Structure 1
Amino acid sequence: MIVAGCAQLPSRESIQPSYAIKADTPSTIGDAVGNVHPGLSGFYPLVDGVDAFVARLALIDSAEHTIDVQYYLYHRQQTTILFTAFLLKAADRGVRVRLLLDDLSQADSEIDLAALAVHPNIEVRLFNPFPNRRFRALGFVSNYSLLSRRMHNKSFIVDNKVFITGGRNIGNAYFSAEDHSEFIDLDVMSAGDIVPKASKAFDLYWNHQLSYPVEDLHGSRDEQSLVNITESLRTYVLQNQDSNYVEQLRESEFVKRLQNDEIQFDWQESTLFFDHPDKLLNDVSEKSANMSPSLFKEMGQPEHKAIIVSPYFIPKEQGVELLTSWVKKGVDVTVLTNSLAATDVSAVHAGYKKYRADLIRGGVKLWELKPSDLVAIKRKAGRKVTGSSQASLHAKTMTIDDKKIFVGTMNLDPRSFDLNTEMGVLINSEKLSHFLAHWVDKKMPDYAWKVELKNPNDDQLIWLDTVNNKQFEKEPQTSSWRRFQVWFISLFPIEDEL
């Protein structure tokens, strides 16, 4: 067993690099989105999960040359199967597909991914792979410092003309297809000047020393395996073409806007930020590969308003000091994060909870997402719902003075800052900034509790349901056992790992 834990990765000597096509390569999708604003980039927000999935499928179906896909999670679920079927269909018509996935969650998918890689137009690489493919957990014993650090990027690029990034991985909960839970998330679809920069970032990761072809890790599959997975995907698509979720895809607002030529990009100046993949190899104290210092410098200090949306929020003492210093200068600071009832990672809540009182006492407006109101609100609006019962925040976005908005993969916690690789776009857009500000000002109370101090002189909190005029003195919609678990976890010094 000890020998198994010391397994080695294969040599990379035979791995051939590859790169994005030239940005000026003619394509139908490029003509459709246009590029009549030299030096600028066009952005379109993808808020609704169904619309976000339809946008990806429509772009895959429109691809003529290349599709580059980079994700942290690639679940074996309905949406992922449909997504993969569309990728395979594109490859069959001659499109080059490069699929780059973090290896953390691919143990159950490795055989299928290796079968896809048999296709002459599909390459699959796994990032920061576990050397021992059979007993992965042993890798944490022998090399925790590297294997605990993951590629958290999300990037989807078609023909080097259109680029999508944001909070969503590939899986049902991200695209409103889950029966019992759903993520409130945000992506932006972009065109123009920023797309070739995103392609260069993808190439950097694709050709990095931590990136390995799946067939080198699993072993090459034969032609029959490709035939088998092709037939399996085709059968799945046929059997599900009349499902409730596929019907929602057909009826999505994005489809209607696309059909009516109503997809209007907001053309603005922007900057792409991404961690260099060497970040995973560097000591945590080494910041040269980290994007966060450059991002915050570019965002600048707010003068009037700052809105922060982060599902995993651990500001630490430095963050509390920064946000409360803004308040002292007259800045209206609002933070939205997950409540204990909504979060999918209790340990993160344990790291976050001890900062709440100081943030509120310092004037920060703190809101926590309700877990179960999303479905009722959608049904009230006449939207079909697949039966989801719990909502969890997953969007990662910030605005400064209603002028700049960041959308990306980065949570405001130590793991995003120091351990995992992240990416995102900073957009100088009043339109998109106002879009988020309007949601916070007008709609957030429907989705979230406002957290306040019961008494300014102590740290006891209360949660206010401002819509239904209710007040809670314990974490709402949680059991005593759940609250005890979080308290117990908070006793351990693991904050920097969260």
Structure 2
Amino acid sequence: MNLFARVLAIVLATTLSACATLSPAQRDRAAAIAEAARPTQVDCDRHDACAQPSPLRELAARAFVESSEAAPRHYALILDRGRDALLARINLLRSATTAIDLQTYIFYEDDSGQLVLDELLAAARRGVRVRVLIDQLAALEHVDTLAALAGVHRNFELRVYNPMFNRARTSYPQYALAAACCWRKLNQRMHTKLLLVDGAVGVTGGRNYQDDYYDWDPEYNFRDRDLLVAGPAARTMEADFEQFWNDGRSVRVEHLTDVGRRLLDAGVPPVPAPHFARPRRAQTMREEASDAALVRQRLADHALPVGAVDYVTDGPSKHADDGGSGALASRSLRGLIESAHEEVLLQTPYLVLSKPAQQMFRDLHQRERAPRVVVSTNSLAATDAFIAYALSYKYKRRYLREFGFHIYEFKPFPRDVPMDIEKPAGELPEPPPVGSGNEHAAPVAGAKRAGRARRDRRSVYGNGTYRAPLSREYGALRYGSSGANRPVPLRRGGVRVGLHAKSLVIDERVGVIGTHNFDPRGDDYNTESAVVIADPDFARALAQSIRRDIAPANSWVIARRDKPPVFSGLEYSLSKASEQLPLFDLWPVRYATSYEFVPGPACPQPLPPNAPGFRACYRPVGDFPEVRLGLKGLTTRIFTAFGAGLAPIL
């Protein structure tokens, strides 16, 4: 058999296996097997399901007592630290008396995922109704785990959203087939994230269920943000969850072909016991979640009393045949931005704007008294999606000149962010202090040896065993190959940090925390949600958190590079013309570059990039600071030149 015939045979086999589904009789039999296996007994006979008292749950009780129909009361808690976000979740799960609803894009079977799953099952066994809805492309990775959960208890139900080929797991060949036959359906993902307890307390924001969202990954973690809301708005969250849960795209896990076949072949397997990579850390989290005084001190006491809270969500109707008509979250966020008078403070990990968003910012900048637009986003060194960064890099001139953005790009080794990263054994030396002049020096020989020994999979391209790309969040193109969207290699090793928070502050009077990346995928493909709070105290607290991320210790500033001594006008015109091309943007010099603040007697405080003294206090550090230029640097420039057509799906 020649090579073509072998490839054709593989493709045909993959096609047939992907399209094969359970017959109605097989599906009913698999469901009956799961139903018969579910225990009905509960571990508690109290009316409150033996719920653990919780200071966070008490916030909801206070909010409902203090609310009236005309004047609702809520308590809002910004969860900046990953450790606190996980602590809040575990504590709330233990406080549930009647119902837990969990909705997420990614649920990974690492330490944080296993810990949360164990708590969900414990709640079901003590009498709480637990419903879990996960997007199919990033659901639990083992079919045996899904089959076990199909029959784990009568109080626990798991559904999978928008499964391709009615399967729980999608392999690379099956993904390729789906891309060929069903591109729009493949990209219509449930990006909404919500944990709701007793219809009274909700948590939403950027975090999925995976170690790198909770500062637990030894090599790469996300600087993220969630919001806990206690009070009447939780009822709106509950109604939205019900829409997703009852939508035809949400499929009971036992009805999926691969899970159903597992049930038919061998019955319901036992739920695997949690196997933690770092068991002591998991045990510490469990102990802290039982410590009411600690939870009160670290979390509940910092909740802000606010009035009305709006939960803005697309809902599953966004994935109806008429497409973007259901993009309520995108329209609402654009309306808020258009209401700005003084300042728009925007934080997004991926600065790739849809055409409506670009036109909105262009119009905003052309106002007679245009508001200042400050954008916090990722650098190439920090991002987990270098293709998205390449598109952002292509349009820097447009962002600065036509939209008036002040752009701050997050560093991979920030020195002052609210994270609790535990350094693994053999960690490399601390980076030098900001302003020392040595931030970008090559690593010393010992550091090189340590880097090789640790095989930092995200700092050294091609080393180590990478997590399956199907578990990453951003963009459909990440499935193209196992290395399609790894973080770029850096000049030194260490625990890298990438920005993942999605937040917005308008005039320090309205604050927004949600799931929307302010990108074309959020506009056209993903379902998104956001909490909008029009309260000055809350808006200022959120603004303070974002401003900390853009401080010189944590971000570089993007500004126009120095003009060449001759033909500067010609160069600008040629680069602008090249930028307009959908392909072949090959002009070698970009309009802007990265700058580092250099403090001194004449420069005591950071300056915005349009300040007269900016160039005296900042030094250029290149287009891709900290990046070890090589293959990824080259491919970034290639996508800059050829990738503009990818923006709608990024």
Kept in 1, the 8 Å contact 2:549–2:555? The answer is no
**Residue 366 (str. 1) matches residue 518 (str. 2):** no
Alignment of 1:69-468 (within 5 A): 69-106=102-139, 108-118=141-151, 119-131=153-165, 133=167, 136-137=174-175, 138-217=177-256, 218-219=259-260, 221=263, 228-229=270-271, 232-233=273-274, 236=275, 241-243=279-281, 246-247=283-284, 256-258=294-296, 262-284=301-323, 286-297=324-335, 300-316=338-354, 318-328=356-366, 329-362=369-402, 363-374=404-415, 377=416, 385-387=422-424, 389-441=495-547, 444-445=550-551, 446-455=553-562, 458=572, 459-466=590-597
Greater share of strand:
1
Counterpart CA distance in 2 for 1:395 and 1:314 is 15
| Residue 436 (structure 1) shift | 2.7
Q: Write the distance in 2 (CA, Å) between the matches of 1:357 and 1:9.
A: 53
CA offsets 1:372-399 (integer angstroms, 9 cap, x no match) = 125xx47xx9966244611101000101
Deviates more, 1:433-442 or 1:97-106: 433-442
Larger radius of gyration: 2
TM-score computed with the length of structure 2 as normaliser? 0.68
SS of 2:182's equivalent? Answer: helix
Does the 8 Å CA contact 1:165/1:187 hold for their aligned counterparts?
yes
Q: CA deviation at 1:433?
A: 1.4
1:10 & 1:299 partners in 2: Cα distance? Answer: 50
The 1:250/1:449 distance shift into structure 2, 3 A limit, reads farther
Identity, % of aligned positions: 26
**Cα separation, 2, equivalents of 1:442 and 1:107:** 34
Shift in Å, 1:443: 5.3
CA RMSD of aligned residues (A): 3.1
The amino acid across from 2:245 in the alignment is W
Separation (CA, whole Å) in 2 of partners of 1:148 and 1:442 = 34
2:483 aligned partner: none
Q: Which amino acid aligns with 1:100?
A: L
TM-score (norm 1): 0.87
By how many angstroms is 1:148 displaced? 2.0
Q: 1:4 to 1:383 in 2, by over 3 A?
A: closer
Q: C-alpha distance in 2, partners of 1:365/1:254?
A: 42
- Shift of the 423–317 alpha-carbon distance from structure 1 to 2, 3 Å rule, reads closer
> Relative to 1, partners in 2 of residues 1:122 and 1:82: Cα closer, same or farther, differing over 3 Å?
same
**Structure 1 SS opposite 2:635:** helix
What secondary structure is seen at the aligned counterpart in 2 of 1:74? coil
CA distance in 2, matches of 1:450, 1:255: 41
* Separation of aligned partners in 1, 2:138 and 2:549: 35
The C-alpha deviation readout for 1:72-104, integer Å capped at 9, x for no partner, is: 001121100011011111111011110100000
User: What residue identity is the alignment partner of 1:416?
Assistant: G
Aligned to 1:47: 80
C-alpha offsets along residues 31-81 of structure 1, whole Å, 9 cap, x if unaligned? 553221232332111110000000000001111111100000011211000
Tell me the alpha carbon deviations over residues 163-182 of structure 1, each in whole angstroms, 9 at most, x when there is no partner: 00000000000011100011
Greater shift in the superposed pair: 133-142 or 255-264: 255-264
Aligned AA (2:67): H
Larger deviation, residues 473-482 vs 142-151? 473-482
With 471-480 and 340-349 compared, the bigger mean Cα shift is at 471-480
Report the counterpart of residue 92 of structure 2 in structure 1: 59
CA contact 2:105–2:135 (8 Å) conserved in 1: yes
Whether the 8 Å contact between 2:99 and 2:197 is mirrored in structure 1 is yes
State the shift of 1:144 in Å: 1.9
**Match of residue 18 from structure 1:** none
1:375-427 superposed Cα distances (whole Å, 9 cap, x missing partner) = xx47xx99662446111010001010101111100011101110111111111
Give the Cα separation in 2 of the matches to 1:307 and 1:32: 29
* 8 Å contact kept, 1:324–1:364: no
In structure 1, distance between residues paired with 2:296 and 2:145: 33
Could you tell me how far apart the structure 2 residues matched to 1:436 and 1:242 are? 33
Taking structure 1 as reference, are residues 436 and 311 closer, same or farther at Cα in structure 2, changes over 3 Å only?
same
Q: Does 1:497 align with 2:646?
A: no
> Within 1, Cα distance between the matches of 2:562 and 2:320?
47
Following the alignment from structure 2 to structure 1, what is the Cα–Cα distance between the partners of residues 283 and 646? Answer: 42
Cα distance change on mapping 1:288 and 1:257 into 2, 3 Å: closer
**In terms of mean alpha carbon deviation, does 108-117 or 69-78 score higher?**
108-117
Deviation digits for residues 135-170 of structure 1 (CA, Å, limit 9, x no counterpart): 532333322220122110101001111100000000
In the alignment, structure 2 segments of 5+ residues that lack a partner are 1-11, 32-46, 425-493, 564-568, 573-589, 600-617
Query: Which amino acid letter does the alignment assign opposite residue 80 of structure 1?
Result: G
How many residues are matched? 478
Aligned residue for 1:287, secondary structure, equals: helix
Confirm or deny: 8 A CA contact 2:314 2:328 kept in the other structure. yes
Is residue 461–residue 473 contact of structure 1 (8 Å, CA) maintained in 2? Answer: no
Question: What is the CA–CA distance in structure 2 between the aligned matches of 1:155 and 1:59, rounded to whole Å?
Answer: 13
Distance change >3 Å, CA 254–CA 473, structure 1 → 2: farther
Q: Is the 8 A contact 1:126 1:211 kept in 2?
A: yes
Gaps of 5+ in 1: 16-24
Cα distance change, pair 350–254 in 1 and its aligned pair in 2 (3 A): farther
CA drift of 1:192 comes to 1.0
